[in-house]
Structure 1
Amino acid sequence: MSRIQANLLLVVIALIWGSAFVAQSHGMADIGPMAFTGVRFLIGTLVVAPLMWREWQGLQRQQRTLSRGDGLKIAGLGSLLLMGAAMQQIGIVSTTVTNAGFLTALYVPLVPVLGWLLLRHLPHWSVWPGALACLVGAFLLSGAHELKIGLGDAWVIASALPWALHVLLVGRVADRMGAPFLVAGGQFLVCGVLALAYALVAEPISWQALEAAALPIAYAGVLSVGVAFTAQVVAQRYAHAADAAIILSSETLFAALFGYLLMGDRLGPTGLAGCALILSSMLVVQLLPMLRPSAASARAQN
């Protein structure tokens, strides 16, 4: 997979995640946030299970086995996924979908900063203005000039750190192990089991409530987790983490689009300016790194 193909796949992932904000919000009307998180990630595990089995058989034919260290890495990714998804879901209970979409985008500038601090990976210079433009765009798109930070908003803000760490590490782990589907499904299983175990103790759960929330859970489980999170693991083997964070942040834009189509939300001039900034930031991180080799080649020919 080329870098361009990986980035285009990340755009599709962002579209799915943006639409899932609506399902996550509707699901909270019937069940608690940890139950919703646990069930949807276990559904995602079932979706990717056939690919996991096929990949496991391929590793056995190659006489390759996963080590205990590999298992710990997958468990670590699952724990980051749990923290990010759970805190976001808890926050959505008492904040708006628009605010949640904007505040989740706070992980975008964290990814290149953490990449530099933890991995000594200095991204292309275009990532820094791109991340800033993306963040400002999400701010404008959400109408955040009216934002009042409440408890739900604080939970979503806190989720930015585990989301950033997950985006930074998931591609590296999957690439080094050479088993993206096992990484994806393994992290889903860890996240789903831990979230559901907590929900069984701390939240009221009934079969009637699960039936009432079945459609939002199914959408979030099959598409947002089973398809999109799995595709993220695959795509980030070939995309830079900082670029991926900026592209994935376009879920804010898609959340606004689906809000317009499904919930009657409308964007004013400020929101449209935010959309333009997010799109511009995505183009910047895509195109500017491609210009440098061309310029060097031109100088060599002269």
Structure 2
Amino acid sequence: MTRIQANLLLVFIAFIWGSAFVAQSHGMDHIGPMMFTGVRFLIGAMVVLPLALREHTALSRRGAAPTASDWRHIVLLGGLMLMGAALQQIGIVSTSITNAGFLTALYVPLVPLLGWLMLRQLPHWSVWPGAVACVVGAFLLSGAHELRLSLGDAWVLASTLPWALHVLFVGRWADRMNAPFTVACGQFFVCGVLALAWALWAEPWSWAGLQAASGAILYAGVLSVGVAFTAQVLAQRHAQASDAAIILSSEMVFAAVFGYVLMGDRLSPMGWLGCGLILVSLLAVQLLPARRVATPPPTGHP
């Protein structure tokens, strides 16, 4: 897979995640957030399980099955997924969706910063202005004119660290193990089991609520988790984490489009400007590095 193909796949992933906001909104009418998260991630694990088993068998035959250290990395990825989702959901209880949407987008500049600090990966210069433009675009798209931080905002802000770490490490570890489906299935299972245990302990639930939310759960579980999160593991083996963070932020644009078409949401002129900034930053991180590579080096005089 080429870099351009990986980036286009990331755009497709953002498209699916943007559409899943509608399903998540309807699902929350019937069950709690952790129950929804747990069930949908376990469904996603079941979707990927046949591919993971086939991959694991092939790796075992070559003597390259995941080691104990690899499994620890997979468990850590699942834990990061759960931490990001849980902290965000706790914060949303006591803050506005406007603030939550904008604060979540702050993981975008955090990814290249962590990559530089922890992995000594220096991204292309276009990533830095692109990340800033993406955050400003998220702010405008959220419709916020004034941001007052509350305790709920602090929880949402805390969720950006596990989300950024997940984006930073998922492709790196999947590439090192050469087992993208095993990584995807394993992290889904860990996240799903822990979230479901949390829900059974702390949330009221009923079979009637699960049945009422079944359509939304299946859509989010099969497409948002099974297809999109697995595709993220595949794509990030061939795309830099900093590029991926900016491209995946276009999820907000697709969410706005689906909200407009399916839920009657309308954007203000500032909201459309925010969409434009996110799309410009997306194009910049793809085209500017390619332009540098495509430009031949100057030749010296004989």
TM-score normalised by length of structure 1: 0.94
Aligned mates of 1:298, 1:121 — CA distance in 2: 24
SS at match of 2:225: helix
Aligned mates of 1:196, 1:20 — CA distance in 2: 20
Equivalent in the alignment of 2:41: 41
Alignment of 1:252-263 (within 5 A): 252-263=252-263
Deviation at 1:72, TM superposition (A): 0.3
Alignment of 1:139-288 (within 5 A): 139-288=139-288
Equivalent in the alignment of 2:21: 21
TM-score normalised by length of structure 2: 0.94
Deviation at 1:148, TM superposition (A): 4.8
- Percentage identity across paired residues of the two chains: 71
Deviation at 1:90, TM superposition (A): 3.5
User: RMSD value over aligned CA atoms?
Assistant: 1.7
| Structure 1, 59-68 or 281-290: larger mean CA deviation | 59-68
Instruction: Please state if 1:57 is matched with 2:57.
Output: yes
| Structure 1, 151-160 or 60-69: larger mean CA deviation | 151-160
Aligned mates of 1:261, 1:95 — CA distance in 2: 26
SS at match of 2:125: coil
CA contact (8 A) 1:103 1:156 kept: yes
Instruction: Please state if 1:300 is matched with 2:273.
Output: no
SS at match of 2:48: helix
Aligned mates of 1:134, 1:282 — CA distance in 2: 8
Deviation at 1:101, TM superposition (A): 3.3
Q: Which amino acid aligns with 1:128?
A: W
| Structure 1, 76-85 or 58-67: larger mean CA deviation | 58-67
Aligned mates of 2:262, 2:45 — CA distance in 1: 28
Aligned mates of 1:199, 1:215 — CA distance in 2: 19
Q: 1:220 to 1:152 in 2, by over 3 A?
A: farther
Deviation at 1:247, TM superposition (A): 0.1
Deviation at 1:181, TM superposition (A): 0.3
CA contact (8 A) 1:98 1:256 kept: no
SS at match of 1:300: coil
Q: Which amino acid aligns with 1:77?
A: L
Deviation at 1:99, TM superposition (A): 4.5
**CA deviations over 1:129-149 (Å, ceiling 9, x no partner):** 000001101111111215554
Equivalent in the alignment of 1:85: 85
Q: 1:176 to 1:222 in 2, by over 3 A?
A: same
Aligned mates of 2:93, 2:68 — CA distance in 1: 37
The alignment covers a number of residue pairs equal to 301
Equivalent in the alignment of 1:127: 127
Which structure 1 residue ranges, 5 or more long, are not aligned?
Answer: none
Deviation at 1:272, TM superposition (A): 1.1
Q: 1:262 to 1:152 in 2, by over 3 A?
A: farther
Which structure 2 residue ranges, 5 or more long, are not aligned?
Answer: none
Aligned mates of 1:26, 1:146 — CA distance in 2: 28
CA contact (8 A) 1:28 1:93 kept: no
